[in-house]
Amino acid sequence: MTIPKEGEKIQIHSYKHNGNIHRVWQETTVLKGTRNIVIGANERTLVTESDGRTWVTREPSICYFHAEHWFNIICMLREDGVYYYVNISSPFVYNNKTLKYIDYDLDVKVFPDMGYMILDEDEYELHKKQMNYPEVIDQILHNNLEKLLGWIKQRRGPFASDFIEAWTARYEFYKSVQEEK
């Protein structure tokens, strides 16, 4: 697997378990790229849905992907604080300037005070039947949901305040470099 380079612009592709494309984020700037972790940032990026509809993200976001955890975390930087949207998903793979993962429907919305809501449990149950999620996948996803909830409660990883400060500063640096070009 190739590794994305810092400062590089990549796409993010989300798939469903059946292999169909779910959503594409047109442009994300890589802030950190290793074999296990990709941290990226985007702002006002074009998103294309599987049915062809498009929309543009509203606020700057820091995105955290891990090759060993079955979730990814979007940190949305809003005027009244950082909101998080977590996709329960497969670990990422990266090739051809594209980060890819499988979206497994379950999501967690986390508020600035670290309160959270688990979303789309009904969609998960429906797709689990329709796409025949294996029992082992179901177990992995629920174990990773519990791990994620622990991170939220302990303010670990992207939920730590120093994470947001450090990666927002790095994103501002790359934005200033792009503006100079």
> Taking residues 138-162, what's their average pLDDT?
97
Please name which of 102, 95, 35, 92 lies closest in space to residue 63, comparing C-alpha atoms: 92
Please state, in angstroms and rounded to a whole number, the distance separating the CA atoms of residues 177 and 73.
25
Please state, in angstroms and rounded to a whole number, the distance separating the CA atoms of residues 77 and 43.
10
Phi, psi at 111, each rounded to 5°: -95, 165
Q: What is the pLDDT of residue 29?
A: 96
Is 107 flagged in the annotation as binding? Answer: yes
Q: What is the pLDDT of residue 72?
A: 98
Q: What is the pLDDT of residue 59?
A: 95
Is 49 flagged in the annotation as binding? Answer: no
Which burial class, exposed, middle or buried, applies to 52 when counting CB atoms under 10 A from its CB (0-12, 13-18, 19+)? exposed
Longest dimension (CA), the chain: 52
Tokens of 49: 């849905």
In this predicted structure, the answer to whether residue 86 has a pLDDT above a threshold of 80 is yes
Q: Which residues are catalytic?
A: 23
Is 123 flagged in the annotation as binding? Answer: yes
Count of other CB atoms within 10 angstroms of residue 40: 26
Domains of the chain in start order, with CATH, are: 8-159 (2.40.380.10)
pLDDT, tens digit, 9 for 90 and up, residues 6-16: 999 999 999 99
Q: What is the pLDDT of residue 1?
A: 67
In this predicted structure, the answer to whether residue 168 has a pLDDT above a threshold of 90 is yes
Q: What is the pLDDT of residue 115?
A: 98
pLDDT, tens digit, 9 for 90 and up, residues 42-68: 999 999 999 999 999 999 999 999 999
pLDDT, tens digit, 9 for 90 and up, residues 121-134: 999 999 999 999 99
Amino acid making up residue 139:
Q
